[in-house]
Amino acid sequence: MLNRLFLYTIISIVYGSEIHDKQINKSFIMFAGAKFNLVQNGDSPNRYIWLHGDEQTARMALEYHIGLYNGLAFFIESETREIPFKSTIVDPNRIFSRDGAYYALRKFKPGWQPGTLKMALDEIDRERESFLDILMPNKNGLLISLHNNFRGYNVHKEKGNSQRISIKKNENPRDFIICTNSSDFEILVSSPYNVVLQNELPERDDGSLSWEALRRNVRYLNIETRLGYLSKQKAMLKYIEDNLN
Ligand SMILES: [Zn+2]
C-alpha cells in the first residue's frame, strides 16, 4: 500500500540579506539560486537527492521510490545540468566545498570583477551550511543521490578515486554504485551491481556532494545508471533500501 506523501515542513531561511527571516511551512529550500522541492514520506533519517535537471530518468526513479519508502527527497527545479547563478551558470554538484565552487564559478566565466568572486563564494558558503543542515541525515541514515550518464562515463573512470572495486561480469559498466561506507560496500559486493568504495578524500576536492558526505562521516550512496534505464535504477534503489539498514 502506498504511504501518503507529505510536504516537508521546515524552517526556511531567506537569503541575500543580513536579516534571516524565518518562515514555517515551506516545501522547498533554495541553494545558490536553485530551488529544491522537498517531498517527505513518513519518518526516516534517509535522504535522497536529484541534482542534475537533464537526468530525467533519475528524477522518475526517485519520484517512484519516495512513494514507496520513507525518507525526505530533494528535487532540483531545473531542466539543465547547470543552473543560473549571478551572471554565469554553475554545476550544482560542484559547489559543496569552497574550493570546488571556486573552480565551478570560473568554468563558464573566467573573469570576475575585483571582489565579486569572493562575495559570491561567501554567499554560497553561507547557503551551503543551511542547505546541508536539512540534507544531511542524522543518526545512521543514508544519503542517496541519483544520477544518469549519457555517453562515456562508467565505473572504470572511478577506479582512481576508489579504495575498493567490485565489478560484475554481467553488468553494464555504466550502471554502478559509489559508496563511502565500508560496511555498506561489503553488503553491496554480494549484490548483482557494480560498486566502488570511496572512503578517502582525493587530493583535489571537486566540490561534489560525495566528498562533503565523507568529511561528515555520512553513509553516502550515488546510484548511477544510463539515461533511460528507469527499471534498472528503480531496482538498484530498492536493493539498497532492502539490504542496507
Ligand atoms: Zn548527475
Establish if 199 belongs to a structural domain: yes
Cα of 180 vs centre of ligand 1, distance in Å, is 17
Predicted confidence (pLDDT) at residue 4 exceeds the cutoff of 70: no
When divided into structural domains, the chain yields a total of 1
Task: Give the model's confidence band at 26: pLDDT under 50 very low, under 70 low, under 90 confident, else very high.
Answer: low
Predicted confidence (pLDDT) at residue 1 exceeds the cutoff of 60: no
Predicted confidence (pLDDT) at residue 181 exceeds the cutoff of 80: yes
Predicted confidence (pLDDT) at residue 13 exceeds the cutoff of 70: no
Cα of 220 vs centre of ligand 1, distance in Å, is 15
Cα of 101 vs centre of ligand 1, distance in Å, is 16
Cα of 143 vs centre of ligand 1, distance in Å, is 15
Residue 88: exposure state from Cβ atoms within 10 A (0-12, 13-18, ≥19): middle
The pLDDT of residue 92 is 98
Q: Give, to the nearest 10 degrees, the angle between helix 230-243 and helix 182-189.
A: 120
**Chain mean position to CA 62:** 12
Task: Give the model's confidence band at 21: pLDDT under 50 very low, under 70 low, under 90 confident, else very high.
Answer: very low
| Each residue's pLDDT tens digit, 31-88 | 999 999 999 999 999 999 999 999 999 999 999 999 999 999 999 999 999 999 999 9
Lowest-confidence segment of 10-24, 179-193, 213-227 by average pLDDT: 10-24
Cα of 211 vs centre of ligand 1, distance in Å, is 15
Q: Give, to the nearest 10 degrees, the angle between helix 98-107 and helix 116-135.
A: 120
| Each residue's pLDDT tens digit, 135-145 | 999 988 999 99
Task: Give the model's confidence band at 151: pLDDT under 50 very low, under 70 low, under 90 confident, else very high.
Answer: confident
Predicted confidence (pLDDT) at residue 245 exceeds the cutoff of 90: no
What residue numbers bound the domain in which 47 lies? 10-243
Establish if 179 belongs to a structural domain: yes
Predicted confidence (pLDDT) at residue 196 exceeds the cutoff of 90: yes
The pLDDT of residue 24 is 28
Predicted confidence (pLDDT) at residue 173 exceeds the cutoff of 80: yes
Cα of 28 vs centre of ligand 1, distance in Å, is 20
> What's the CATH code of the domain at 170?
3.40.630
Cα of 113 vs centre of ligand 1, distance in Å, is 30
DSSP state, residue 188 = H
Cα of 222 vs centre of ligand 1, distance in Å, is 9
Which has the closest alpha carbon to 66: 19, 5, 107?
5
The pLDDT of residue 9 is 41
Amino acid at 120: A
Cα of 121 vs centre of ligand 1, distance in Å, is 22
Establish if 201 belongs to a structural domain: yes
Cα of 66 vs centre of ligand 1, distance in Å, is 19
Cα of 232 vs centre of ligand 1, distance in Å, is 16
How much of the chain, in percent, has pLDDT values that exceed 70? 89
Establish if 3 belongs to a structural domain: no
Establish if 4 belongs to a structural domain: no
Cα of 225 vs centre of ligand 1, distance in Å, is 10
Cα of 56 vs centre of ligand 1, distance in Å, is 10
Establish if 1 belongs to a structural domain: no
Establish if 52 belongs to a structural domain: yes
Lowest-confidence segment of 6-20, 152-166, 213-227 by average pLDDT: 6-20
Cα of 174 vs centre of ligand 1, distance in Å, is 13
Cα of 92 vs centre of ligand 1, distance in Å, is 9
Placement of cell 553516502 in the chain: 220
Establish if 112 belongs to a structural domain: yes
Cα of 23 vs centre of ligand 1, distance in Å, is 31
